[in-house]
Amino acid sequence: MKPAPFEYSRATSTVEACELLRRHGDEAKILAGGQSLVPMMAMRLVRPAWLIDINEISALKFVNIEKDAVRVGACTRQCTVERDQALAVRVPLLAQALAWVGHVQTRNRGTIGGSLAHADPCAELPLVAQVLGARMLLRSAKGTRLVEAEKFFSGPMATSARSDECLEEIQWPAWSWRHTGSAFTEISVRHGDFAMVAAAAQIAVDGDGRCVRAAFGMGGAGGTPLAFPKIAARLVGTRLDDEVVKDAAHAAAAETEPGSDLHASAEYRRHLAGVLAARVLREARERARSVR
């Protein structure tokens, strides 16, 4: 047995999970799909005294498609969302990103909320949440609060959730423009590995191909996933010509603060950030334009 000993409790409801968090929060961890937490515990990078298992809480597993947003329960498996055709139409960027998350075996177990709460700055789902401005519904014994992605991701592997709070659902904004397109890409050593840099974009255009809304961002290029709302806003009203897109991508890349490690230097990551951002913006533009 590799992890340090811990007390284990299988919560049967969100209320029970919150009560356990109220009692043990400071020394407890929520166990969702376990695809990041279990290896970290095996390496003893984390040693929670309590694990609160939320896998059997059926109320945390749902996909609700609403007019302006798709609400996803925190413990919904990544494979469930990946296969949801209706969700892919409403939040195409999320569906595209999921294909890059780990492998079949890890997506069968890994959860949407688990990936967000883990807040790896290289991970795909936090990037999509940041780019689209997803909202996290956090519950504690005292009640609930909604936190915007921008405020949720506070640093590498860190969120603004308090130790007595459990992520309950994620609200993914669904754009209503008919001509909406999105794209996701990343560079990693092998498919399914951690991204050196990832990029995501979503674009809406009017019938004449003029941009009415743009959002894009990069992962692996700073302590949190990065979105560039001000730079994206400058794309609105343009025809998104290649030069315009390239300028926006490079302006964003200049604002990144990537680190260096064994796999890539900071300089190379910043270079990738610019190249990949331009690529996803162009792909999203083409997809938006091709909607009939």
Partner 1 sequence: MSETLHTVSVEVNGKPRSAQVPARLSLVDWLREDLWLTGTHIGCEHGICGACSVMLDGEPVRSCLMYAVQAHGHRITTVEGLAKPDGSLSVLQDSFCETHGLQCGYCTPGMLIASQALLNSNPNPTEEQIRDAIGGNLCRCTGYQQIVEAVQLAAERMRAR
For binding to partner 1 (CB under 8 A), which residues are involved? 1-8, 10, 31, 34-35, 38-39, 41-43, 51, 53, 55-56, 79, 102-106, 108-109, 191-192
C-beta closer to partner 1: residue 13 or 106 = 106
Q: How far is the CB of 200 from partner 1 (least distance, A)?
A: 21
Q: How far is the CB of 18 from partner 1 (least distance, A)?
A: 20
C-beta closer to partner 1: residue 107 or 270 = 107
C-beta closer to partner 1: residue 42 or 233 = 42
C-beta closer to partner 1: residue 46 or 236 = 46
Q: How far is the CB of 117 from partner 1 (least distance, A)?
A: 16
d(CA 28, CA 12): 17
C-beta closer to partner 1: residue 45 or 86 = 45
| Number of neighbouring beta carbons within 10 Å of residue 151 | 12
Burial class (CB in 10 A: 0-12, 13-18, 19+), 191: exposed
Q: How far is the CB of 208 from partner 1 (least distance, A)?
A: 37
Q: Check: CB of residue 141 under 8 Å from CB of residue 19.
A: yes
Residue 199 vs residues 187, 226, 285: alpha-carbon distances, Å: 9, 9, 14
Residue 136 vs residues 150, 259, 276: alpha-carbon distances, Å: 10, 27, 27
| Number of neighbouring beta carbons within 10 Å of residue 27 | 12
d(CA 107, CA 171): 20
Q: How far is the CB of 43 from partner 1 (least distance, A)?
A: 7
